[in-house]
Amino acid sequence: MTAIQLNAELFRTMGEIADDQTLMAKLLKYAKKLAATKKADPTLMTEEEFFAKLERGEEEYRQGKTYRMLPGESLDDFLTRIG
């Protein structure tokens, strides 16, 4: 099922129980519980974390802690050499 089809089915089913306050409360409780289990994206960071990471990188660059690809070197060779 596509996301659009899932959405349509979800709303169709919700429409069937919309008149029953008890069922709607159960659905809401379950939906909140389900949403809380969603995994956070490990690549997300705050603005402060982002700028701190940039500052660390700039400091490493000033200290000469850099890597450069050699002329004609492939990315695979470069990563093997520095790894």
Task: Check residue 58 and give its pLDDT.
Answer: 96
- Residue 7 tokens, joined: 């959405």
Instruction: Please tell me whether residues 57 and 31 are part of one structural domain.
Output: no
Instruction: Please tell me whether residues 32 and 55 are part of one structural domain.
Output: no
Boundaries of domain holding 14: 3-36
Task: Check residue 56 and give its pLDDT.
Answer: 96
Instruction: Flag whether 53 is in a domain.
Output: yes
Instruction: Flag whether 27 is in a domain.
Output: yes
Angle at 45 between CA 42 and CA 50, to 5 degrees: 135
- Residue 27 tokens, joined: 């659905």
pLDDT exceeds cutoff 90 at 1: no
Per-residue DSSP letter, 44: -
Instruction: Flag whether 42 is in a domain.
Output: no
Number of domains in the chain: 2
Tens digits of residue pLDDT in 44-79 = 899 999 999 999 999 999 999 999 999 999 999 999
Q: Which amino acid is at 34?
A: L
Angle at 25 between CA 22 and CA 30, to 5 degrees: 130
Tens digits of residue pLDDT in 4-44 = 999 999 889 888 988 899 999 999 998 888 887 777 778 88
